[in-house]
Amino acid sequence: MLCRSADLIAEAHASGSGIAAFNVITLEHVQAVADAARRTGRPAIVQISQNAVRHHGGDVMPLAAAVAAAARGGEMRLALHLDHVEDMALLHRTAECGASSVMFDASRLPDAENIAATREAARWAHGQGLFVEAELGEIGGKGSAHTPGVRTDPADAARFVDETGVDALAVAVGSSHAMVSRTAALDLRLIERISEAVPVPLVLHGSSGVPHTALRAAVKHGMTKINIGTLLNVSFTRAVRATLAQDPEVVDPRRYLGPARDAMTDAVSDCLMALTTSDSP
C-alpha cells in the first residue's frame, strides 16, 4: 500500500530505528524495491530524484505512476518521495504525482540564501500537506562544487531547522554521493551531536558507500532516513554485463533486465534486513 513518508519516518524516529529510501530510475528499480519490501516485510521509501525526472524527459508522472501501481494491492508499505529537487516547477508537482514528501535542495546556495529559499519552499509545501526535507552543508560528491570533506555544524543545523521549519534534515557527516565501494567512514560522534541539537529526523545521503555495520551504528547514534541509490545501479549494471558477456548475441532486453531486477531486489532486501539486524548480542 502507498503510505505517507511522514508516517514511516516518524515511526522510525520514535523507535530509534532506520527507514531506508531507495532512488529509482527505471521500472525495474521500482519493482525491485516493491519486491524487496514484500519479501522482507519492511517498509521502504521510493525516491525519484530531479535527475531521474530529467532522464525521463522532464516528466515525473510515468515513474511516479509506476510506484503507485507497485504499491497498490500489496501488503508492503511504500511511500513516494521526490529527491534533490531544485526546480520549483517540479516541487510544485509533488502532491500531484502522488509523493507525500520532498527534499528541497538549495544547498548549492550560500547559507543565508539556502535558508530563505528553503523557508519559502517549506511554507508552500506544508500548505499542501507535504513533509519537507532539506540540506545544510553540501554532501560530498553531488557535483563538482561539492567537497567530500564537508561537515555539518550542530549549531548551524539547529538554527537552519528553526529558521526554515523543515521536517527532516540531510546532514554532511562523512558519506559521499555515488560511491561504488563501501569505504566511507562516518563521524558517529558528529551524528550524535547533531541529533541532540536538532529536533527533527536526520537523513544520511550517499549511503551506498557506507558498510552495513556503519549504517546500523549511524542509526544507533541518531540517524533516521537512509538514502541509497548507487548500490542499486551497481547491482543492475553488473547483472547486465554478466548476461551480455555470457551471450553476446542477446537482443531481447527482458533477457538482461530480468537478472538486473533480481540483482537489485537482492541488494535492496539486504539493506532492509541490515537496518533491522542488531550488532549487539
Nearer to ligand G3H, 24 or 97 (CB): 24
* Residue 77 touches which member of ligand G3H, Zn ion, none, C-beta under 5-8 Å by kind: none
Number of residues that bind ligand G3H (CB under 6 A): 16
The least CB distance from residue 227 to Zn ion, in Å, is 5
Residue by residue, DSSP assigns 202-261 as: EEE--GGGS-HHHHHHHHHTTEEEEEE-HHHHHHHHHHHHHHHHH-TT---HHHHHHHHH
229 binds ligand G3H (CB under 6 A): yes
The least CB distance from residue 127 to Zn ion, in Å, is 25
101 binds ligand G3H (CB under 6 A): no
Nearer to ligand G3H, 35 or 83 (CB): 83
Please give the residue ranges that form the binding site for Zn ion (CB under 5 A).
Answer: 205
Residue corresponding to grid cell 538549495 = 106
Single-letter amino acid code for the residue at 112: A
In 87-229, which residue ranges form alpha helices assigned H by DSSP?
A: 88-91, 111-127, 154-164, 188-197, 212-220
Binds ligand G3H by CB under 6 A, chosen from 85, 218, 228, 264: 228
Catalytic-role residue among 7, 35, 59, 83:
83
**Biggest CA pair distance of the chain:** 59
Cα-Cα-Cα-Cα dihedral sign, residues 184, 54, 84, 213:
negative
Which phi and psi angles does 185 have, rounded to 5°?
-110, 120
The least CB distance from residue 105 to Zn ion, in Å, is 8
152 binds ligand G3H (CB under 6 A): no
| Contact of 47 with 22, CB cutoff 8 Å | yes
Catalytic residues: 83
Q: Which residues bind ligand G3H (CB under 6 A)?
A: 23, 83-84, 177-179, 205-209, 227-231
